[in-house]
Amino acid sequence: MAFLTGENYILRVRAVNAAGLSDYSSDSEAIEVKAAIAPPSAPYDITVLESVRDSMVIGWKQPKISGGVDIKGYYVNFREVVDGVPGQWHEANVKAISDRAYRILNLKENVLYQYQVAACNLAGVGTPSQPSKPFKCEEWTIAVPGPPHELTLTEVRSSSLVLLWKTPVYTGRTPVTGFYVDVKEADAPEENWRSVNEKPIPNTYIKVQNLNDGTRYVLRVRAENQAGVGKTSDVTDPVLAQTKPGTKEVVAEVDDFGVISLNFECDQLTPDSKFVWSKNYEPIEDDSSRVTIETKGGKTKVSFKDPSEEDLGIYSCVVTETDGISSSYTLDEDELKRLLQLSHDHKFPIIPLKSGLAVEILEKGQIRFWMQAEKLSASAKCNYVFNDKEVHHGDKYKMNLDSKTGIVEMIMDTLEDEDEGTFTFQLQDGRATNQSSLVLIGEVFEKLQREARFQRHEWIRKQGPHFVEYLAWEVTPECNVLLKSKVANMKKETTITWYKDGMEIMEDEKHDFKDGVCTLLITEITRKDAGIYELILKDDRGKDKSILKLIDSAFDDLMSAVCKQIADSATQVKIQSNEEGIRLYSFVNYFVDDLKLSWVHNDGKIKYTDRVKSGVTGEMMWLQINEPTPNDKGKYVLEMFDGKATHTRDVDLSGQAFDEAYAEFQRLKQAAIAERNRARVVGGLPDVVTIQEGKALNLTCNIWGDPVPEVSWLKNERELPGDDHCILKFESGKYASFTITTVATSDSGKYCIRAKNKYGTETNDFTVSVFNPEAEETEEEAQSDTKKK
């Protein structure tokens, strides 16, 4: 039968003869079938590492083919070379040596020797190497070190690799102080060698970085002491910078118990493969006091017993009997600090919180303490603590834990004085714990208590008619003041009553709450309207009130806003001429004394005199310039100060505007003079005079005019000359009299007095009716006799 490599088998045996088969033997122990092995190939590149008068140290590179198992050691042979003729081979060592360097003793000084090396494994001794070139056994006297040896490449990746080496056997006259590493592309000429490190390094390893993926490189090492830099090592075999598929790295982990470990796994193990851990590329002993190494199958890990700064370094793992599988992990101070924190967190797991303990006030004035964990299991629980004493669910406290949302809460209906202190929620979920506290003392507690009580009062208030927005004022575009508030939860039976200074001023019986707004309009407000305004809403569900104090500074602010609106309503300044001069004016919606006015002429404040006056008439703000002169030309600005800001309106009284206004003023001035001085009948004459025949009639009136008017009388629109019957007089230039000594019926008629001077003429008409009583009686009798007939 065929056995499978890597499998374990148990064997048993029985005998057979002519009589038949015997019983089976007892079972063997399990036997692992391993891959077929063969002796290793030959070592190569033999070189001299040190030479003295009677011995030499040689080194070599390990075989490229190990034969399927680890190389157990090496055998060295040597022979003399005299005049170019080699002698017989002699064994340098009887027992295999594990190192790749060996000192051959009892040699002859100044004699040439050749060497060959053979490797061995479990399958036997492999083919010896080709004889080396002849080396002369002589005392090295150079001051600088000999070449480093046993260069090993590991952790090869696309852009980096790690090079290891051993210090020179020959150190020179002083100890080795450092090393230089050189690198070049494998096919590049010798002059392309470049140094990896500018300054010598004390370590016997280095990580070479910044390589080009897919490029083949060779490396060498030089040692340095006080005398200088010594011989270069043998060049490494070419290595391809490439990260092989499936390459894994060492990973740091922290388990649930806080143990820190470095982990590595390999899925390309051979039956004889082993994991070899090193610190700073020195093998870690199995009995290390700092770490323990565990390997199972294709996984291995290094666990730290008591991590500290003593454990800092580079931890590497090499898998033997593979194609160079290796990886490393650098544990520096920052990484150790991070891992120690994770270890602590895992030993003492903390329930992560989205938010710590907080407090909020609910709609009805209840106090809600709450916190939220990122995640909780169904078995999570919480202890609620107040001032170091656990409290429980009951009348005062209502607790709840929702594992789905991670929210933990406790609700209190009210916050009393004895509730001042520290509240703590203690969470536990399996091994994990966490807690959060909230300190409510002093001003913090008092503020929360006030806000909770206010919120509860607000909730009760809103069960009936209530204010959503309390009384406030606004100034309308018409410069009136509107008191308004927004209300809610109203019904038809709700009463609305307005008060000012405690006195009812209006009850709104025809309200409509579709817009939810109550208003009171104050037109053309003055300081008499200052006071405390109150609006009360009331029905069978409760009442609410809103107070607006419009006094002192609050009323000043209101009036300032009113004045601003009034100032904004002002028209542009216009020009008007009158008989006294030129008037500049602007209209507003209405005027209040709180709006302070001033006029500016050509950037200078106007000083008011009898000639230049300012005033307000109704809604008109004006500036009167009497008897204007050219000096009054220019720009005029009306400044209106509302108590906070100045608003302006302006006009340019110059050029054509001034000329036209001045000409109109002159015209009106002359018209006024003419009006004042024209002839006129001041009064004293009746409209109708009825007088009996035979009586005397005497009428008088005053005449005014400058110059003194000419006075004439008319009867029935004809000039009436004076005579003894009708006496006409005009005395002292102002008294006119009309006298008929004996009135006759012929004197009846329409009379007129006319006064005339150069500024005009004025007349005054009156009618004189003369009657005869006797003639009227005779006429009445005649009329009566006619009716009888």
pLDDT for the residue numbered 13: 87
Q: Strand 275-279 relative to strand 282-283: parallel, antiparallel, unpaired?
A: antiparallel
Residue carrying structure tokens 């303490």: 369
Q: How far apart are CA 475 and CA 561, in angstroms?
A: 7
If one compares 548 and 346, the residue with the highest pLDDT of the two is 548
Would you place residue 508 in the very low, low, confident or very high pLDDT band (cuts 50, 70, 90)? low
- pLDDT score at 378: 93
Residue 509 has pLDDT above 80, yes or no: no
For the residues 549-553, what does the mean pLDDT come to?
94
Q: Is the pLDDT of residue 507 over 80?
A: no
Where does the pLDDT of residue 409 fall: very low under 50, low under 70, confident under 90, or very high at 90 and above?
very high
Please provide the size of the chain in residues: 789
**788: confidence class by pLDDT, cuts 50, 70, 90:** low
Q: 317 to each of 113, 163, 634, 719, how far by Cα in Å?
A: 39, 14, 100, 151
Band (288; pLDDT cuts 50, 70, 90) = confident
The pLDDT value given to residue 54: 92
**Residues above pLDDT 70, as percent of the chain:** 96
Tell me: the pLDDT tens digits for 167-224? 999 999 899 999 999 999 999 999 999 999 999 999 999 999 999 999 999 999 999 9
**SS3 per residue for 471-502:** EEEEECCCCCEEEEEEEECCCCCCEEEEEECC
**CB–CB of 353/371 below 8 Å?**
yes
Residue 458: pLDDT band (50, 70, 90) is: confident
pLDDT at residue 785, rounded to an integer: 59
Position 784 confidence tier, pLDDT thresholds 50, 70, 90: low
pLDDT classification of 513: cutoffs 50, 70, 90: low
d(CA 150, CA 163): 10
Farthest CA pair distance, the chain: 210
Cβ-count burial of 326 within 10 angstroms (0-12 exposed, 13-18 middle, 19+ buried)? Answer: buried
Structure tokens at 460: 């009760």
pLDDT bin (cut points 50, 70, 90) of residue 683 is confident
Q: How far is CA 455 from CA 360, 413, 416, 419, 753, in A?
A: 11, 12, 15, 18, 91
Closest C-alpha among 222, 78, 76 to residue 137 = 78
At residue 30, the pLDDT reads: 80
Q: Is residue 499 over pLDDT 70?
A: yes
* Edge-to-edge strands, sheet with 326-331: 282-283, 275-279, 313-319, 326-331
User: Where do we find the tokens 């006259």?
Assistant: 173
Q: For residue 35, what pLDDT band results from cuts at 50, 70 and 90?
A: low
Q: pLDDT value at position 6?
A: 65
**Overall pTM surpassing 0.75 (yes/no):** no
pLDDT number for residue 776: 61
The pLDDT-based confidence of 492 (bands split at 50, 70, 90) is confident
pLDDT digits (tens, 9 = 90+) for 247-270: 999 999 999 889 999 999 998 888
The secondary element (H helix, E strand) that includes residue 614 is strand 612-617
Average pLDDT on 333-358 reads 92
Pairing of strands 407-412, 421-429: unpaired
Rounded average pLDDT over 639-664? 93
780 pLDDT higher than 80? no
Which of the residue ranges 28-42, 305-319, 389-403, 708-722 would you say has the lowest mean pLDDT? 28-42
- Write the pLDDT tens digit of every residue in 519-542: 899 999 999 999 999 999 999 998
Q: Is the pLDDT of residue 17 over 90?
A: no
Mean per-residue pLDDT for 439-445?
95
The pLDDT of residue 546: 93
Q: Percentage of residues in the chain with pLDDT exceeding 90?
A: 73
Q: Does residue 1 have a pLDDT over 60?
A: no
357 Cβ neighbours under 8 A, 6+ residues apart: 369, 370, 371, 423, 424, 425, 436, 437, 438
In this structure, what is the dihedral angle of CA atoms 679, 683, 689, 695, given to the nearest 10 degrees? Answer: -90
- At 240-249, the pLDDT tens digits run 999 999 899 9
Within 13 Å of residue 438, how many CA atoms lie on the same side as its CB?
21
Cβ neighbours of 431 (radius 10 Å): 11
pLDDT value of residue 14 = 86
Of 658 and 21, more confident: 658
User: Which pLDDT score is estimated for 8?
Assistant: 80
Domains, the chain, in order of start with CATH, read 44-105+115-125 (2.60.40.10), 149-240 (2.60.40.10), 251-347 (2.60.40.10), 356-385+406-457 (2.60.40.10), 462-550 (2.60.40.10), 558-676 (2.60.40.10), 680-773 (2.60.40.10)
Which residue in this structure is represented by tokens 């000329």?
659
What letter does residue 39 receive in the DSSP assignment?
Answer: -
pLDDT in tens, 44-74: 999 999 999 999 999 999 898 888 778 899 9
Residue 2 has pLDDT above 60, yes or no: no
67: DSSP letter = -
Average model confidence (pLDDT) across the chain: 90
Q: What is the mean pLDDT of residues 675-697?
A: 88
Q: Could you count the other beta carbons within 10 Å of the beta carbon of residue 366?
A: 18
| Mean pLDDT calculated for residue range 95-103 | 92
pLDDT tens digits for range 126-147: 999 999 999 999 998 899 999 9
**Per-position DSSP letters for 658-694, written without gaps between them:** HHHHHHHHHHHHHHHHHHHHS-EEEE---SEEEEETT
